[in-house]
Structure 1
């Protein structure tokens, strides 16, 4: 006797196993026979939504339109320590890093790549066009609640995420909120998400605040903090996170949010303390381990940083960036036998030309450290071959050109000056390049 599985049950099984396309196909066949089957409609919309779902809690990058048409700015020059766009100098009582790389927006390079720290605010239209938008998130994908059982909620998620039709999603959320007599916190959160997508941050703030008055939920705190970060009000966001910790003590996502804001404001010592609190609750938190390791490296403690990166390796993290960091830590910790092998593995795992350029740049930096200037020159040239906008490689090439011959040789000076100018074009705020250009201009005036 042949036994066949119920199609809807089979579709649900595929959904639970994350085989979303098969789930959608079976639901489509069910709907051909019965177009009014609400269970099939609900499951199909959920499957299609999960294919493109992005955690809205993560702070996304500001594009050129948001930067140029920002109507929420109150003052052109914010007070030090109160803005994410002008993070200022390092704060705190801990040791100050001697040289910590900065992004083109002036933020310190973090130990973990997030959407908000990929490349900062683009300065020109050309940079904005070249800046990729990322769909990956540092937080795992979460479901905001267990209310997906209703067709209305799944329909909203389908319209909002899959169709990206924010206007119709807003209309649906508004009608649902009115139908619930303005007492349903979940629909108010969805209204806030729609307003945020439309750039109506104050309206989004009101909806998230109202939702918190009805129900204390961790995700709502994260959404509201995201609004304040977009409004460039990091102090308000910090106070909100601490308010959330009063209701949800030791919540990892709230502690991580506080640490990120401190890190983006260049308050590295406070960020490190909060990342340590995160590790007390979750000792496998990749972002916290990476950021603490990065901080130890830039405070001249490569041996301690090496422990954290090895911990990531033991956890199964296996990528180009990790081996690149391991190579640098081994070099500065004088473990030379592991330095080149780490960079070899990093080169074997590169995923794009920018990663390739960064690895060759770091190998060139190691070559400078051991005194092999010929190898360093070749490595910096290779870095520029893969990324023609690599400002640091141009800067170091200019220094090598300056060292090649005596200072009186005008040809070396001209080569150095050309490389330094290219570095300035790629990264105008690069401090080392400005100092080098000043030095070269002094030499030209003497000659």
Structure 2
């Protein structure tokens, strides 16, 4: 005799196995027979929400609207060491910006790509238009808070995440908070998330603070720190993270938050210490391993950096960026047999033209390092063929043209001064380009 599985149980099984579309389809069939089945409604909204869920704790990039209509800043020029938008010089004996490459926002290159460090705050409208936004998150989705899922909470998450209707989500959260006599911390956190999404950061701060007064939860500390980072108050965010560590000693997400802020403020040595504390709690933390490896590379310790990147390979991380870093570490550690094979792997794993350009640029850098200037010239040209805004490739082309004595543009060849100007157009704050342009202008003045 054939035994049929209960449809709701089957839908729940699909949900647990992350087969969300099949779960939603079964719930739809159940609701066609019984539109008032709250369990089916709850499970379907959860499945639809999980399809588009993005961790709200991550600090997202500022768009053009935030850049042009920033009403949260008070002082136009912040004191050094108190702003994420003006990170200043390296502190605590770390590497200087001239040694460690910088992003276009003036922040040091990190070892791990995050939404808040992709390109930072655009300096001009042209840069803002060219700045891509990211929908991915660097840290994993946070664990459930232990709260029993009810239809009201799943309905809110469906409206907030799936429908992206912040206004109605805010109304629902406000009514639920009032119904709970303003004593439910979870609904206050949801109110804070809605206010944050609407750009009302001070109102969001009040809700998160009130939620912490009711119950100490790690996620609430992370949400509140996100508000302070958007308000450009990194010192307040650091103090909040440390306050959270008093209640949750050794919490990885809080330690990581502190390390990220120090890194964005160019305090690399302190960031590295906190990333080491992260590894003491979780020795498989990819971001901490990558950032520590990056720091060792930029402090002339490629052999040690190589150990960290190999550790990532052992953990199953397999992408173009990792093999790019392995190739450079092998080159500077004089393990030449592994250098080209690493770049070949990187070439096989490229996902877009920008990654392809970075691989060709690094191969060109290696070629120049071994004295093959012709190969280096060709590699930089290939980098520009894939990414016409690659400032570093333009800069190195300008240096090679200068060595050949071709200072101005000759026919269809790229002259040194022209290439340096294009590098400056792509990345105005590039230190090496500015030094090269200064040298070229002094040459023209002496003629």
- How does the TM-score come out when normalised to structure 2? 0.97
SS of aligned partner of 2:415: helix
SS of aligned partner of 2:382: helix
**What is the total number of aligned residue pairs between the two structures?**
447
For each residue in 1:28-75, what CA deviation from the matched residue of structure 2 results, as whole angstroms up to 9, or x when unmatched? 000001111111000000000000000100000001111111111010
Residues 3 and 301 of structure 1: is their aligned pair in 2 closer, same or farther, counting only changes over 3 Å?
Answer: same
* Structure 2: gaps of 5 or more residues: none
For each residue in 1:137-170, what CA deviation from the matched residue of structure 2 results, as whole angstroms up to 9, or x when unmatched? 1221124423352100000000000000000000
In 2, distance between residues paired with 1:130 and 1:443?
33
Q: CA deviation at 1:119?
A: 1.1
Native 8 Å contact 1:401 1:412 kept in 2: no
In structure 2, the residue matched to 1:341 is 341
Following TM superposition, the consecutive aligned residue runs of length 4 or more in structure 1 with deviations greater than 4 angstroms are: 94-98, 406-414
In 2, distance between residues paired with 1:409 and 1:444?
14
Residue 161 (1) aligns with residue 149 (2): no
Native 8 Å contact 2:347 2:359 kept in 1: yes
For each residue in 1:354-397, what CA deviation from the matched residue of structure 2 results, as whole angstroms up to 9, or x when unmatched? 00001111111111111111000000000000000001111111
**414-423 or 20-29, which deviates more:** 414-423
Q: CA deviation at 1:123?
A: 2.6
Native 8 Å contact 1:91 1:267 kept in 2: yes
* Structure 1: gaps of 5 or more residues: none
For each residue in 1:58-97, what CA deviation from the matched residue of structure 2 results, as whole angstroms up to 9, or x when unmatched? 0000011111111110100000000000000000035557
Residues 95 and 444 of structure 1: is their aligned pair in 2 closer, same or farther, counting only changes over 3 Å?
Answer: closer
Q: CA deviation at 1:220?
A: 0.2
- How does the TM-score come out when normalised to structure 1? 0.97
Residues 407 and 167 of structure 1: is their aligned pair in 2 closer, same or farther, counting only changes over 3 Å?
Answer: closer
Residues 191 and 273 of structure 1: is their aligned pair in 2 closer, same or farther, counting only changes over 3 Å?
Answer: same
Native 8 Å contact 1:108 1:264 kept in 2: yes
Residues 364 and 29 of structure 1: is their aligned pair in 2 closer, same or farther, counting only changes over 3 Å?
Answer: same
**229-238 or 434-443, which deviates more:** 434-443
SS of aligned partner of 1:84: coil
Residue 233 (1) aligns with residue 253 (2): no
Native 8 Å contact 1:228 1:237 kept in 2: yes
Native 8 Å contact 2:61 2:120 kept in 1: yes
In structure 2, the residue matched to 1:409 is 409
In 2, distance between residues paired with 1:285 and 1:414?
45
Residues 369 and 187 of structure 1: is their aligned pair in 2 closer, same or farther, counting only changes over 3 Å?
Answer: same
Residues 95 and 51 of structure 1: is their aligned pair in 2 closer, same or farther, counting only changes over 3 Å?
Answer: closer
For each residue in 1:386-424, what CA deviation from the matched residue of structure 2 results, as whole angstroms up to 9, or x when unmatched? 000001111111110000138799889981111011011
